[in-house]
Chains A and B, each alone.
Chain A
Amino acid sequence: MVKSHARQKQFRALLVHFFLSIGGLLMCFPFFWMVLTSLKSPQEVLRVDHWFPHQKAFYVSVQKGKESVRQVEILENLGDSRVKVRFMDRNVIEQVESAGLEHRQFLWSNYEKAWNKVQPSFTRYFVNSFVIAVVTTVGQVTTSILAAYAFVFFVFPFKNLLFTVFLATMMIPQETLLIPNYLILSELGWIDTYMALIVPWLAGVFGIFMLRQFFAQIPRELFDAAMIDGCSKFGFLFKILVPLSLPPIITISIFTFLGSWNSLLWPLIVTNSQEMRTIQVGLSYFSQAEGTEWELLMAASTFCILPLIVLYIFAQKYFVQGEAASGLKG
């Protein structure tokens, strides 16, 4: 009886793992497919008969100082180091030097190609996204710490009214703000500058709210004792409160960074020039311009997603905390 119960339990665990693994594979599949496609040749992308990148022959030649790599099909060895090949891209048959033939399986060069295919290049887009996300995060976290500190440890007129107004802004969908903010920024002459991409997001109510909850758990006596010992209010904040609150501060930082890095609609609206594009905007223009070069589009998607996955793996603890806390948002 006991034994069969244990066996039943084991069987159940196995079944649970089975379903979860299948689900997990389905969740990951788009990422696999993205990476596989990014390593294929244009001809291979369109071929239905094999999913994994195969070994392919290429003819490499240098024309006007530029290397050209074209996929070929080897038809016949003519001897005397000459080979008859079919060029896959134009479907023409030619005789070439066998020295120029190369076999490759994974076309890592797609990444380089995709990187430089846009104007000016993805380097610029990455720098833009990075600068914007870092400044937004540092700014938003700083203003949130300051405001939350005042809301918890200070008594001042209109405190509750002000906090209610702050809270109420959480109910406003971003889409309502698009047009008026666009006009305000036009008025300020900030369209197509870093200012437009950063300044409106230098404060966030969610961060203030989360930090206020955390600060409120810190004993009031600590504050009073510090004041009696002659610590300034500013000193208390930076010497005692902030070091105590690092976990929620890191969580807010990560979520602000992610939000800024991943946003598309706002940078799409307030930028015009190629130099001001962020990664997401660059990617959307890239996809509209190169709609069918899937190996390049997937290479671009891969290097856009990769930094996020690395960040996620290193800072997982804080992601989970942030998710748990967002339940408190209600």
Chain B
Amino acid sequence: MHDKNDHSAYFYVLPAGAIILLFHVFPVIYSFLLSVFKGTLKHPMREFIGLSNYAELVGDVSFWKAMLNTLFFSVGSVPLGILIALGIAVLLNQKIQGLGIYRTIYYLPVITSIAAVSLVWKWLYDKKAGFFNQVFDMVDVAPSAWLQESRGLFEVVFSWVHISLPTSIVFFGTEFDQVLTRIAHGPSVALCCIIAMSVWKSLGYNVVIFLAGLQGIPNHLYEAAEIDGANRWQQFKAVTWPLLSPTTFFIFIMSTITSFQVFVQVFMMTPFGGPDGSTSVVVFYLYEKAFKTFEFGYASAMAYVLFTIIFILTLIQKKYVGEKVHYGG
């Protein structure tokens, strides 16, 4: 009875299957077709142009700037989010009272709407009367423009020790020098503000996953280490960190994937891509190209590049983490 094909199964799979095929599988093909055609809003696939959109993308300095901003965002937010979350998770794992309350508090930003909390942070960062500038005012520090500050992080840090970086770098002699200058100056203060907010927003998610990983480490390993005379730090280095590495890797890849998709924070806090376009990330640029100027082909090519990056990251995560990470369930 088990082995006989039962065609009534299709009735059960059909509702989900139809939606997934039409709105999740077919669009992947459609998107590629759009990216190799040129057209208008009414007729998006009028003329076949091969890989021209991709070639144009390679020469588009705004795209490279957006890529660089996205990379800055990942490099800034992912390690920071992991380190802080790990610290909190280790503290929470000390068998203390009130674990539930702490977990609730740290998790709170995760469930709230990103649009609303972006607005709250935009207000905290307000140039005129925002909280941060109020604090600066109290301690007699010159106010910052925060979300409107286009100076790079390295530029700011160096200026504290009275070193000024060159205002622009000339190498190619083309507009691509702007990208090099941005690399030398570092992410703009505005982008750093968005990074800080994003770390705060998703911290609780990482904490909960880390906590599950920590609780999976058998206690006798710590007991054995203690008998061997290992102090807390040595225990962390020899037991916690290596045994937690699949969890850390999982969070690392998942955070990297989400960081490449960042959009709402940028859109809400800097609706025009920030000072000097310094917060315009890939999805933001894609959104502008697709739904402000309606260049569907060009934006589709960009979407495909993004898709490829995320696809590779997902494959890496499948290959190396795969079924090794199991929590609860």
Contact = CB atoms under 8 A, between A and B. Distances in A.
* B is a partner of A: yes
Interface of A: 12-13, 16-17, 19-20, 23-24, 27-28, 30-31, 33-34, 37, 45-48, 51, 142-144, 146-147, 149-151, 154-157, 159, 162, 165-166, 169-184, 199-200, 202-203, 205, 208, 213, 220, 224, 227, 233, 258, 261-262, 264-265, 269, 279-280, 283-284, 287-288, 294, 297-298, 300-301, 304-305, 308-309, 311-313, 316, 319-321, 323-328, 330
Contacts of A184: 22-23, 26-27, 30
- Sorted from nearest, which 4 A-B pairs have the closest CB atoms? A324-B328, A180-B27, A154-B9, A203-B19
Contacts of B12: 146-147, 149-150, 154
Nearest to A213: B329
Interface in B250-300: 250, 254, 257, 260-261, 263-264, 267-268, 271, 283, 286-287, 290-291, 296, 299-300
B13 A330 contact: no
Contacts of B245: none
Interface residues of B, number: 106
B111 A308 contact: yes
B267 A48 contact: no
B286 to A, nearest CB: 6
A300 B114 CA distance: 14
Main secondary structure of the interface of A (DSSP, over half): helix
A190 to B, nearest CB: 12
Contact of A179 (B102, B303, B310): B303
Given A179-B300, A202-B15, A301-B120, A28 B108 contact: yes
- Give the most central of B22, B104, B116, B119: most A CB within 10 Å: B116
B126 interface: yes
Contacts, number: 288
Contacts of A324: 208, 212, 327-329
A162 to B, nearest CB: 7
Interface stretch (B148-156, B177-185, B314-322): B314-322
B92 interface: yes
A48 B306 contact: no
Interface string B9-27: 1101101111110111111
Contact of B109 (A27, A174, A176, A323): A27
Contact of B115 (A28, A30, A283): A283
Contact of A27 (B200, B209, B271): B200
Interface of B: 1-10, 12-13, 15-20, 22-28, 30-31, 34, 44, 88, 91-92, 94, 96, 98, 102-109, 111-117, 119-124, 126, 128-129, 131, 134, 137, 200, 203-205, 208-209, 212, 247, 250, 254, 257, 260-261, 263-264, 267-268, 271, 283, 286-287, 290-291, 296, 299-300, 303-304, 306-307, 310-311, 314-315, 317-318, 321-323, 325-329
A179 B120 contact: no
